[in-house]
A and B are shown apart, each in its own frame.
Chain A
């Protein structure tokens, strides 16, 4: 690929022009050659996706922001290590997943109270019954749909949540999830299925809530209007 700095000068909006049509894998090659604007484009493409994925993994917005920025910094600092044997997005989410796992492992090492009802941790464990406290008729004032969905996602055990989010939020293929997580393809399928079962149980109360369904339609309508 032969591109010069002149091929992608900044527009008046501050965003680099001429880079939008370039594949991720070519952008990182430009970064390897020292083009900082190519990295700006990578940040623009991935920061939202990464933050969304990481926040739903760690639940803490401050920590999610830190880990998201750390992922982007590592992409820049270790750009020379990327080889096009895998999709760029796979590489990015492998870095993010490893950072999140390390952080969660650190947190789990911190002393805490033992739970009398630990979440089942094995693939063979039965899916938990729906939370009896989750009443579909409960008031949702002050709680937005996003918070409730995040909560429902966070209650999926971590080992199922990683492939689930990579599939649902990041739209990675099963093979890409396999590469990111290092799991076998069959295990990826099985974990996504189990995560969906758990997710469905967790959101069951929300589905029956008319106010939330109306909010969902409004959000989708706004998004469609923005796309137009």
Chain B
């Protein structure tokens, strides 16, 4: 037996893994080999040293663990409450809100351009997105009169009017060119376009209020959830 094999068997013998039939062979080798005897003694002493010098835990280990565990549990609770992701900071929520409002406004503009019939209809008799205004309990429409045709009710400033007139003219051009808007009812006249824009503004405002209401409700629910989480952690 060479020393490499003997040292492998010494290692196995330390773990009681050496095959019984090899025990005698190893003993015979050790009796005649000073190097392997030294190897065996060194190894045993080294492992004694290793086991005697177990590192001590740092101070505050338990306290830090408790803190991290509380945070992990809180995070897990929050994740289950927000399956779509973490709660975003205020400025990101504001941007998201503005983005949603803008998208809804644009969608409404497109819906009107595509769906509304030729010429502007009174809301009470209308259909599509505008008809929702009448049905909405948050924005009651006075029966018999139309708020949308009263252009004097809220004068538009000049620049706003001009820019939206440009938008109307652009849409009109696309209609006349047979664009994807098809048989759009966009009137092409400034007064009617302004009325349409006002309708959209008001609808946009209504949707914004609804969104704000939902967000407020959502914040209240989150506050309740956080409070329950704190109570659960303190109780444990």
- B-binding residues in A (CB < 8 A): 36, 43, 47-48, 51-52, 55-56, 61, 65, 68-70, 72-73, 76-77, 144-146, 149-150, 152-153, 167-169, 174, 189, 192-193, 196-197, 199-200, 203-204, 206-207, 212, 216, 219-220, 223
Chain A hits for B50, CB < 8 A: 149, 153, 168-169, 199
B21 within 8 A of A: no
B58 within 8 A of A: yes
Besides the known contacts A61-B58, A65-B61, A200-B43, 8 further A-B residue pairs in the complex with CB atoms under 8 A apart: A47-B62, A69-B64, A76-B69, A168-B51, A199-B50, A203-B49, A207-B46, A219-B52
For window 30-48 of B, CB contacts with A under 8 Å fall at: 39, 42-43, 45-48
Establish whether residues A174 and B17, one from each chain, have CB atoms under 8 Å apart when the complex forms: yes
CB-nearest residue of chain B to A222: B52
Report the Cα distance A24→B9, complex, angstroms: 33
Establish whether residues A168 and B47, one from each chain, have CB atoms under 8 Å apart when the complex forms: yes
Establish whether residues A48 and B52, one from each chain, have CB atoms under 8 Å apart when the complex forms: no
User: A212 CB to closest chain B CB, in angstroms?
Assistant: 8
Establish whether residues B236 and A65, one from each chain, have CB atoms under 8 Å apart when the complex forms: no
Establish whether residues B55 and A43, one from each chain, have CB atoms under 8 Å apart when the complex forms: no
User: B26 CB to closest chain A CB, in angstroms?
Assistant: 14
Q: A149-B49, A207-B42 are in contact. Are A51 and B57 (CB under 8 A)?
A: yes
- What are 20 A-B contacts defined by CB distance under 8 Å? A36-B236, A51-B57, A56-B55, A65-B57, A69-B64, A69-B68, A73-B69, A76-B72, A145-B53, A146-B53, A169-B51, A189-B11, A189-B17, A192-B11, A197-B7, A199-B46, A199-B50, A204-B42, A206-B46, A207-B45
CB-nearest residue of chain B to A204: B42
Report the Cα distance A78→B213, complex, angstroms: 38
Establish whether residues A223 and B55, one from each chain, have CB atoms under 8 Å apart when the complex forms: no
Chain B hits for A144, CB < 8 A: 53
Establish whether residues A72 and B49, one from each chain, have CB atoms under 8 Å apart when the complex forms: no
B12 within 8 A of A: yes
- A-binding residues in B (CB < 8 A): 7-8, 11-12, 15, 17, 39, 42-43, 45-55, 57-58, 61-62, 64-65, 68-69, 72-73, 76, 236
User: B51 CB to closest chain A CB, in angstroms?
Assistant: 7
Prevailing SS type, chain A contact patch? helix
Q: A168-B50, A207-B46 are in contact. Are A55 and B55 (CB under 8 A)?
A: yes
Report the Cα distance A73→B76, complex, angstroms: 12
Establish whether residues B15 and A219, one from each chain, have CB atoms under 8 Å apart when the complex forms: no
Chain A hits for B69, CB < 8 A: 72-73, 76
Establish whether residues B53 and A149, one from each chain, have CB atoms under 8 Å apart when the complex forms: yes
Chain B hits for A145, CB < 8 A: 49, 52-53
Establish whether residues A216 and B51, one from each chain, have CB atoms under 8 Å apart when the complex forms: no
Establish whether residues B54 and A216, one from each chain, have CB atoms under 8 Å apart when the complex forms: no
Chain A hits for B8, CB < 8 A: 193
Establish whether residues B65 and A196, one from each chain, have CB atoms under 8 Å apart when the complex forms: no
Report the Cα distance A36→B12, complex, angstroms: 41
User: B155 CB to closest chain A CB, in angstroms?
Assistant: 61
Report the Cα distance A51→B45, complex, angstroms: 23
Report the Cα distance A74→B49, complex, angstroms: 31
Report the Cα distance A197→B35, complex, angstroms: 13
Establish whether residues B53 and A47, one from each chain, have CB atoms under 8 Å apart when the complex forms: no
**A203 in complex: contacting residue of B17, B42, B61, B65, CB < 8 Å:** B42
Chain B hits for A216, CB < 8 A: 48-49, 52
**B53 in complex: contacting residue of A43, A61, A73, A219, CB < 8 Å:** A219
Report the Cα distance A136→B29, complex, angstroms: 28
A-B pairs, top 8 by smallest CB distance, nearest first, are: A146-B53, A203-B46, A193-B11, A219-B52, A149-B53, A69-B65, A52-B54, A200-B42
